[in-house]
Amino acid sequence: MSTEPEWNVQTAAEVLLDAEKTRTDRGPITGDWPGLDLETAYDVQAELMARKVAAGQHIVGVKLGLTSRAKQLRMGVDSPLTAWLTDAMSLPLGVPVPTAELIHPRVEPEIVFVLGRDLTGPGVTAAQAMESVDAVYAGLEVIDSRFTDFKFTLPDVVADNASSARFVIGGRKCRPADIDLALEACVLQVDGEVVYTAAGAAVQGHPAEALALAANALGRRGVVLRAGWTVLTGGLTDAVFIRPGQQVSAEFTNLGAIVLGAV
Label residue 155 by pLDDT band (50, 70, 90).
very high
> Who contacts 97 (Cβ-Cβ below 8 Å, separation ≥6)?
91, 105, 107, 142, 166, 242, 260, 261, 262, 263
Give the residue from 180, 189, 176 showing the smallest Cα distance to 231: 176
Longest CA pairwise span in the chain (Å):
65
User: What percentage of the chain has pLDDT greater than the value 70?
Assistant: 95
pLDDT reported for residue 260:
98
Class of domain 9-262: alpha beta
- 226-259 tens-digit pLDDT: 999 999 999 999 999 999 999 999 999 999 999 9
What is the pairing mode between strands 247-252 and 240-241?
Answer: unpaired
**Could you read off the pLDDT of 179-191 as tens digits, one per residue?**
999 999 999 999 9
**Residue 151: pLDDT band by 50, 70, 90 thresholds?**
very high
Please report, for residues 110, 127, 220, 224, the alpha-carbon distance to residue 123 in angstroms, rounded to integers and kept in the order given.
25, 12, 9, 13
2: pLDDT strictly greater than 60: no
Evaluate if residue 77 carries a pLDDT over 70.
no
Residue 124, classified by CB atoms within 10 Å of its CB into exposed (0-12), middle (13-18) or buried (19+), is buried
Residues 6+ apart with CB under 8 A from 256: 138, 170, 171, 172
pLDDT value at residue 1:
44
Helix (H) or strand (E) holding 28: none
Task: Please give the model's pTM, rounded to 2 decimal places.
Answer: 0.94
The mean per-residue pLDDT over the stretch 67-88 comes to: 79
For residue range 206-228, list pLDDT tens digits in order: 999 999 999 999 999 999 999 99
